């Protein structure tokens, strides 16, 4: 893959057959595209800084209002009535635990199983590989009810384990690590063994440092995956205090009756959107590389 990162500044150089007007049009279309793409998020922020009365009398102004501190502190401290008085802080903690648990859990169990499958020879090795591989074809959505039953039987409803564990086994991460491990030259393993390194020493001192980039990329993708889950937390959480922020947001909105606290809903929406965006933007380099390369 060519380097995706273009110099941040620099002049547009014209290629043969390109006109200067064409470049201006390109910039214009890109800016328009960004405005359209960013508008819903920007407008949510604008709405989160106005009073409920202003929101209820559309159209809403295009610029933020003066209620930023008021609305945010009210949502963070007071809690919202519709979701049983659970504060946004609790929801954020739940969602963070779930996203981190899924990201870290998935990376740990898949790097271990990929390690076993690539660097050891043992009976049933390929059988295990296929058992893991086939789970690609069994997303939660196609086994909703029976999986729910398993959760009830194991007493995992309304627990962090229930939110995390069933989602950490998936084939994609294992396949990714397997693919990467297979590019590691056998000489490296041999050299390590000659120097007296056992399997654990090799894993921690050589394999893990080599996998750093892959782990970082995977971490971003899985963190977003965990943060944006909807169907699963909807099924396995009943109590309001165990909800993720996405589910709670859904419960707060009602178009039928007039007492939806829109200004607080918008604050909650902002708090649900900003953390994963920060993760993606901050780790953009690894994320883009990992996404485009791993899925190819």
What minimum distance in Å lies between the beta carbon of 78 and other proteins?
21
Tokens of 254: 């009602």
- Contact with other proteins (CB under 8 A): which of 6, 63, 130, 238? 6
Rounded Cα distance between 196 and 108, Å, is: 25
Judged by CB under 8 A, the stretch of 69-77, 79-87, 209-217, 245-253 that binds other proteins is: 245-253
- Contact with other proteins (CB under 8 A): which of 73, 77, 93, 131? 131
Rounded Cα distance between 262 and 258, Å, is: 10
224 near other proteins, rule: CB under 8 A: yes
What minimum distance in Å lies between the beta carbon of 25 and other proteins?
8
With CA atoms as reference, report the closest residue to 254 among 82, 26, 139: 82
Q: Count CB-CB contacts under 10 A for residue 169.
A: 15
Q: Within 60-119, which residues bind other proteins (CB under 8 A)?
A: 60, 109-110, 112-113, 115-119
- Contact with other proteins (CB under 8 A): which of 77, 81, 228, 239? 228
Judged by CB under 8 A, the stretch of 65-73, 78-86, 210-218, 288-296 that binds other proteins is: 288-296
Contacts by 257-265, CB closer than 8 A, 24 or more apart: 260/82, 261/52, 261/80, 261/81, 261/82, 262/47, 262/52, 262/55, 262/56, 263/47, 263/48, 263/50, 263/51, 263/52, 263/55, 263/67, 263/71, 264/71, 264/74, 264/75, 264/80, 265/80
Q: Half-sphere exposure (CA, 13 Å, Cβ side) for 191?
A: 7
Number of amino acids touching other proteins (CB under 8 A): 115
What minimum distance in Å lies between the beta carbon of 7 and other proteins?
7
125 near other proteins, rule: CB under 8 A: yes
What minimum distance in Å lies between the beta carbon of 20 and other proteins?
11
126 near other proteins, rule: CB under 8 A: no
- Contact with other proteins (CB under 8 A): which of 157, 189, 206, 215? 189
271 near other proteins, rule: CB under 8 A: no
What is the signed CA dihedral for 40, 41, 44, 48, rounded to 10 degrees? -170
């Amino acid at each position: 893959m060519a380097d995706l990162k273009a110099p941040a500044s620099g002049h547009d150089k014209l290629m043969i057959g390109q006109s200067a007007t064409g470049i201006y049009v390109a910039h214009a279309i890109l800016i328009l595209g960004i405005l359209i793409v960013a508008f819903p998020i920007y407008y949510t922020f604008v709405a989160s800084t106005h009073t409920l009365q202003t929101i209820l009398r559309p159209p809403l102004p295009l610029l933020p209002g003066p209620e930023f501190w008021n609305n945010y502190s009210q949502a963070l401290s007071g809690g919202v009535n519709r979701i049983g008085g659970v504060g946004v802080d609790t929801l954020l903690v739940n969602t963070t635990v779930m996203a981190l648990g899924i990201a870290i859990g998935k990376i740990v169990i898949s790097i271990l199983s990929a390690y076993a499958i690539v660097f050891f020879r043992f009976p049933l090795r390929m059988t295990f590989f296929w058992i893991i591989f086939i789970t690609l074809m069994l997303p939660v959505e196609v086994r909703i009810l029976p999986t729910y039953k398993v959760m009830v039987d194991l007493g995992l409803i309304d627990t962090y384990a229930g939110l995390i564990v069933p989602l950490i086994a998936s084939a994609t991460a294992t396949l990714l690590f397997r693919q990467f491990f297979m590019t590691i030259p056998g000489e490296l393993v041999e050299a390590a063994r000659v120097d007296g390194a056992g399997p654990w020493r090799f894993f921690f001192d050589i394999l893990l440092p080599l996998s750093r980039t892959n782990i970082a990329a995977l971490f971003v993708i899985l963190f977003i995956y965990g943060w944006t889950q909807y169907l699963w937390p909807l099924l396995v959480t009943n109590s309001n205090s165990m909800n993720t922020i996405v589910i709670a947001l859904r419960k707060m909105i009602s178009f039928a009756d007039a007492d939806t606290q829109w200004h607080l809903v918008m604050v909650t929406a902002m708090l649900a959107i900003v953390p994963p965006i920060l993760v993606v933007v901050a780790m953009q380099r690894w994320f883009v590389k990992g996404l485009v390369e791993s899925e190819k």
